[in-house]
C-alpha cells in the first residue's frame, strides 16, 4: 500500500473517530435508498467497491441511508446513466473519465495514450491538485465528483492472432470506448476501431462483428471474454481511473450531515476498491492464461514504439485539452519518476 493511500486512510480513521464520538448524536439524517449503476458485472471490483460503499453508508448513517448496486449495465450504458444522474433518476455511477469528456474536455488528459506507467504515478495525479480540480468542474454539469476509484491499465485482446509487435494490431477490428481519442489512437496503431457500448461487446465479439477489444484484465475475466477471445497483449496503452459521481439534483436535497456521510463512504470505499481492483488485475492475468488465453508480455521497447506511433494523437489532444494542464500532469508524473 503506497503512502498516498496510507495517509488517506489515517485521515479517514481520525475523521471517523471524531464523527462517531462528537457529532453522531446531532446527525440530521433521513432515510434514503440510492441506486449505484455501472456497466461491469456485479462480481467485478467495481461491484465489490459499490457494495462496500453501501455497507459504509449504512454503517455511518445508523442504518438510515442505503445503496444498492446495479451492475451489468442493467440501468443502461454509461452515457444513459450519466444522463439519468443529471435528471435525478439514478443517484450514483462509476465511469471511466473518457465518458465525461463530452461534458468537460479536460478529462481527456487521463486518456492520452501511454501517459502513465505505474500506479504511483496515477495516484499522484488523481489525489493531487489536478484530480481535485477536475472533480470540481462536474458541479456545473449537474454532477458531484466524489473521487477516483480504479479501473486499471487497458490491454488489447483479439480472436485472430497473437500481438507480438505493433504491426500485429494492423487491420484488426477493435471495439473501443465511444470517444474520439480512443478512435484516433487505434487508427494510428493501424486497427479499425469500432465504437460500441460495453453491454453490447460480448455479443459483438461472439458474432465476429469485431475481432477484439481493449480493457483491464479484471474486466476481461469477469465479462468472460476469454470464451470468445484467444489472444491478449500487455499494451497498457491507457490507464483508466474510475470516477465516482453523484447526482447534483439529489445531492442538493441532502442535509449537510447526509452529504458528509456520502462523501466519507465514497472516499473510504474508493481506497478499498483501488486495492481490490489492482490485486484483481494482477490475478486475472494468470486466471485468463488458465482459461486458455495466450498472453504476450510486450517489452518496454515495443511499448515505446507504440508511444512514438501515436504521438500525433497525443499532440492533437494536448492542444484541445490545454497544453498547460497536460504539462502539469507530466510534471507530477516526473516527480514520481525522480523519486520526489
The domain spans of the chain are 31-101+117-151+241-283, 155-237+286-337
Strands 32-37, 192-195: pairing kind: unpaired
- Furthest-apart CA atoms within the chain: distance in Å: 64
* pLDDT the model gives residue 30: 95
* pLDDT the model gives residue 2: 52
Residues with pLDDT less than 70, the chain: 1-26
171: number of Cβ within 10 Å: 12
206: number of Cβ within 10 Å: 14
Q: Helices 256-290 & 45-60, crossing angle to 10 degrees?
A: 150
Topology match between the domains 31-101+117-151+241-283 and 155-237+286-337: yes
What pTM was estimated for this model as a whole?
0.83
CATH topology (fold) of 155-237+286-337: D-Maltodextrin-Binding Protein; domain 2 (3.40.190)
Contact between residue 236 and residue 215 where contact means Cβ atoms under 8 Å apart? no
Q: What is the pLDDT of residues 172-185, one digit of tens each?
A: 999 998 889 999 99
Q: What is the pLDDT of residues 208-230, one digit of tens each?
A: 999 999 999 999 998 999 999 99
CA-nearest of 8, 264, 29 to 146 is 264
* pLDDT the model gives residue 202: 97
CATH for 31-101+117-151+241-283, among 3.40.50.620, 3.40.190.170, 3.40.50.2300, 3.40.50.450?
3.40.190.170
84-117: buried (b, 16+ CB within 10 Å) or exposed (e) per residue?
bbbeebbbbbbbbbbbbbeebebbbbbbbbbbbb
Q: What is the pLDDT of residues 229-255, one digit of tens each?
A: 999 999 999 999 999 999 999 999 999
* pLDDT the model gives residue 9: 46
Amino acid at each position: 500500500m503506497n503512502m498516498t493511500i496510507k495517509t488517506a486512510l489515517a485521515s479517514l480513521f481520525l475523521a471517523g473517530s471524531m464523527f462517531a464520538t462528537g457529532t453522531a448524536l446531532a446527525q440530521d439524517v433521513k432515510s434514503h435508498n440510492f441506486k449505484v449503476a455501472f456497466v461491469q458485472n456485479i462480481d467485478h471490483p467495481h461491484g465489490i467497491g459499490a457494495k462496500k460503499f453501501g455497507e459504509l453508508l449504512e454503517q455511518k448513517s445508523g442504518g438510515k441511508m442505503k445503496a444498492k448496486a446495479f451492475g451489468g449495465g442493467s440501468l443502461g450504458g454509461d452515457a444513459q446513466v450519466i444522463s439519468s444522474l443529471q435528471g435525478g433518476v439514478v443517484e450514483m455511477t462509476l465511469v471511466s473519465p473518457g465518458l465525461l469528456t463530452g461534458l468537460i474536455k479536460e478529462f481527456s488528459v487521463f486518456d492520452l495514450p501511454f501517459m502513465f506507467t505505474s500506479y504511483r504515478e496515477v495516484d499522484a495525479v488523481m489525489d493531487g491538485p489536478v484530480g481535485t480540480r477536475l472533480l470540481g468542474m462536474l458541479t456545473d454539469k449537474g454532477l458531484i465528483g466524489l473521487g477516483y476509484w480504479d479501473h486499471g491499465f487497458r490491454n488489447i485482446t483479439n480472436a485472430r492472432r497473437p500481438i507480438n509487435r505493433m504491426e500485429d494490431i494492423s487491420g484488426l477490428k477493435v471495439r473501443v470506448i465511444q470517444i474520439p481519442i480512443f478512435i484516433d489512437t487505434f487508427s494510428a496503431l493501424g486497427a479499425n476501431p469500432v465504437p460500441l457500448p460495453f453491454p453490447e461487446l460480448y455479443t459483438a465479439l461472439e458474432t465476429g462483428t469485431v475481432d477484439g477489444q481493449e480493457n483491464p484484465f479484471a474486466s476481461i475475466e469477469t465479462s468472460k471474454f476469454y470464451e470468445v477471445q484467444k489472444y491478449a497483449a500487455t499494451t497498457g496503452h491507457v490507464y483508466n481511473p474510475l470516477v465516482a459521481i453523484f447526482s447534483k439534483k439529489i445531492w442538493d436535497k441532502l442535509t449537510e450531515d447526509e452529504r458528509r456521510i456520502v462523501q466519507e463512504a465514497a472516499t473510504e470505499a474508493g481506497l478499498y476498491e483501488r486495492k481490490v481492483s489492482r490485486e484483481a488485475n494482477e490475478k486475472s492475468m494468470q486466471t485468463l492464461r488458465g482459461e486458455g488465453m495466450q498472453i504476450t508480455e510486450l517489452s518496454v521497447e515495443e511499448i515505446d514504439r507504440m508511444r512514438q506511433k501515436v504521438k500525433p494523437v497525443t499532440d492533437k489532444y494536448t492542444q484541445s485539452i490545454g497544453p498547460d494542464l497536460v504539462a502539469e500532469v507530466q510534471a507530477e508524473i516526473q516527480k514520481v519518476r525522480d523519486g520526489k
